[in-house]
Amino acid sequence: MANLQKIEVAASRPYPVFLGVRLEDLGEYLQTRQTLGSQILVITQPVIAELHGERLAEGLKDFKVDIINVPEGEGEKSLDRLSSLTSEAVRLGVDRSTLVVALGGGVIGDLAGFFASVFMRGIRFVQVPTTLLAQVDSSIGGKVAVNHPAGKNLLGAFYPPLAVWTDFSVLASLPWNEVQNGLAETVKHALIADADLFAFLEQHQEQIKEREQGIWREMVTRSVAVKVKIVSQDEREAGIRALLNLGHSFGHALETEMEFQGISHGQGVALGIVAAAGLAQARGFITEAEVERIVQLLKSFGLKTEVYDKSAANLLHLMEADKKNQGGRKVLILPKGIGQAVVVKDCNDEEILSAWEKVIR
């Protein structure tokens, strides 16, 4: 256990992100946490449980393990699902010493983490991300949430996990549309903080699409390093952490408008990155050639760079619910070249409408 690769996240409760570990070894790590009880509650989805549940259970054989399966879909991040989780947890005898294991992608990580943050005023949990999106982004940073009809992730908390346990081998079974979600966030990380990573993605497009193991390991590790560095400097999004929302203000509005149906988070973020890049170009923050590099990289991975038959005015209205907004002003993250980004607090509605119109067909 001493030789495990890990990156420490500085937080109100610091925690490690373990990289390249095995699902089967999680139990051995947890045995070192002397204050844990004997019960573990695994919150997952049926497909994930079928693919990876047996391996996880092998390592947890010395614990009492209960499993709650949640249906798939972003719509499950709801107060109704939170209520049903609570009822089931009470039935299973979950108490303050129980550890929650979030086995799945971003939806499970957000939902299980938020459940852990509020059940009996907070019980511990471990993130075990099984998608590329979750491994490079959503499992790291301690943000947990559920959605509300008025907007995505409006009800949430900053609640650090006990640890993040990242097994790269689980990515082999991912369908390509799930891979795309993680690639969108990886491109975002490169744009805001690592120009060399952006060039790496450009240079290794084919190996990434062919899932070359060594290339994927380097891509994930470098993307995780960007996320960890930023959240360690700004746990509660009071400053630099806001940069991680590049593309999200636009993307979340599109996801909300479509009621989280027919569009993935990654596709929404990719479209949002293009819209933000267009606004940044209009402000002189980024060149036309750099915008074209961004668009071409996203396209090479099959990510969304335009949307059809949408109302720019309606999408602008939905952006009013964005959590970054301050005093009625829309706050946006814009790329500044490739490898940097800035927080912009004076974007007017005409600029944002123009950005939307550039990506609506």
Structure confidence at residue 186 (pLDDT):
98
Structure confidence at residue 3 (pLDDT):
64
Average pLDDT, integer, range 175-201:
97
The residue from 77, 152, 189, 241 that is catalytic is 241
Enumerate long-range contacts of 81-87, CB under 8 Å, 24 or more apart. Answer: 81/111, 81/146, 82/111, 82/114, 82/115, 82/118, 82/146, 85/43, 85/111, 85/115, 86/115, 86/119
**Residue 2 pLDDT greater than 60, yes or no:** no
The residue from 76, 237, 255, 290 that is catalytic is 237
Determine the Cα–Cα distance for residues 144 and 161; give it in Å rounded to an integer: 10
The residue from 227, 293, 304, 336 that is catalytic is 227
Determine the Cα–Cα distance for residues 173 and 122; give it in Å rounded to an integer: 33
9: amino acid identity, one letter: V
Determine the Cα–Cα distance for residues 208 and 139; give it in Å rounded to an integer: 21
Domain 188-359 has CATH 2.30.110.10: no
DSSP code at position 1: -
Percentage of residues of the chain with pLDDT beyond 90: 83
> Is 189 annotated in the active site?
no
> Is 323 annotated in the active site?
no
CB half-sphere exposure, 258, CA atoms < 13 A: 19
Strand partners of residue 307: 360
- Alpha-carbon torsion angle 203, 208, 209, 212, nearest 10: 120
Strand partners of residue 258: none
Token reading at 109: 């990580």
331-347, pLDDT tens digit by residue? 899 999 999 999 999 88
Find where tokens 């979340």 sit: 252
**Residue 1 pLDDT greater than 60, yes or no:** no
Structure confidence at residue 259 (pLDDT):
81
Verdict on whether the full-model pTM lies above 0.85: yes
The separation between the first and the last C-alpha atoms of the chain, rounded to the nearest angstrom, is 53
64-73, 122-131, 142-151: least confident range: 142-151
> Is 252 annotated in the active site?
yes
74-98, pLDDT tens digit by residue? 889 999 999 999 999 999 999 999 9
> Is 185 annotated in the active site?
yes
Return mean pLDDT, the chain.
93
> Is 148 annotated in the active site?
no
> Is 211 annotated in the active site?
no
Average pLDDT, integer, range 243-256:
93
> Is 351 annotated in the active site?
no
Domain definitions of the chain by residue range? 5-173, 188-359
Fold of 5-173: Rossmann fold (3.40.50)
